[in-house]
Amino acid sequence: MYLERMEVGPVLTNCYLVGCEETREGLLIDPGGDGERILNAVRRAGLTVRQLLNTHGHADHIAANAAVKRALDCAILVHEADADMITSREASLLDWIPGGEPSPQADRRLRDGDRVVVGTLEFRVVHLPGHTPGGIGLLDEAVLFSGDTLFAESMGRTDLPGGSEDALLRSLGERIAPLEETVAVYPGHGPPTTIGREKERNPYLRLAMGL
């Protein structure tokens, strides 16, 4: 699997370019700003990006959706509970991101358990409400793209509209804690980590596990 992490936008959101080495098909996760830089990365990688996935609807994860879709004519994927958020300047908090523009409408509204196929790669959508109602992770047997649910030694904030600390802790305890400790975690902000490391060091995950 080809994987490139870019920190984009004013709050350094992790945008991920994921690619199938065999078919050269690609997926963009959370293009939250710096659209031209993201497009240049796609060109350098030699990938054909047909899908753009938002882990949730906040502006720092969607601000370059429109620019990327115009350039690549790719489908926008987001959980159904956040689908209306991405097209609303107010709901997505887009005024926080200089130069951002509302996203086009979602082409595919995701639900828990849906599959996202990228060439020979296949990921499962994991619904992780709490940071937003429609927050999701993208999971295969070795990797979790966790959005703003789980960070290295932290978790996403819950004080924005639609946030719920109780829901986020349930997502951590019921959906993330059971994963294999070897699973690599690529969060929406900050450095990558692993499930095993977070079980040892993350106070929020340990709280959610009853430790």
192-204 pLDDT, tens digit per residue, is 999 999 999 999 9
Asked whether the predicted pLDDT for residue 99 surpasses 90, the reply is no
Give the residue-averaged pLDDT of 9-17.
96
What was the pLDDT predicted at 111?
A: 98
Class of domain 2-208: alpha beta
How far apart CA 6 and CA 4 sit, in angstroms, is 7
Q: Hey, what are 89's tokens?
A: 């300047």
How far apart CA 128 and CA 171 sit, in angstroms, is 5
CB-neighbour burial class of residue 158 (10 A; exposed 0-12, middle 13-18, buried 19+): middle
Asked whether the predicted pLDDT for residue 128 surpasses 90, the reply is yes
How far apart CA 58 and CA 63 sit, in angstroms, is 8
Instruction: List, for residues 138-151, the tens digit of each pLDDT value.
Output: 999 999 999 999 99
> Within 13 Å of residue 124, how many CA atoms lie on the same side as its CB?
12
Q: Which positions ≥6 away from 35 have C-beta within 8 Å?
A: 64, 67, 68, 71
Contact 172, 154 (CB under 8 A): no
Query: Which H, E and C letters describe 93-159, residue by residue?
Result: CHHHCCCCCCCCCCCEEECCCCEEEECCEEEEEEECCCCCCCCEEEECCCEEEEECCEECCEECCCC
Instruction: List, for residues 141-195, the tens digit of each pLDDT value.
Output: 999 999 999 999 999 999 999 999 999 999 999 999 999 999 999 999 999 999 9
Number of residues in the chain: 211
Asked whether the predicted pLDDT for residue 122 surpasses 90, the reply is yes
What was the pLDDT predicted at 96?
A: 84
Confidence band (pLDDT; 50, 70, 90) for 58?
very high
What was the pLDDT predicted at 153?
A: 97
How far apart CA 202 and CA 193 sit, in angstroms, is 11
Contact 148, 186 (CB under 8 A): no
Contact 190, 153 (CB under 8 A): no
- Kind plus residue range of the DSSP H or E element containing 203: helix 203-208
Give the residue-averaged pLDDT of 106-129.
98
- 180-205 burial, b for 16+ CB within 10 Å, e for fewer? eeebebbbbbeeebbbebbbeebebb
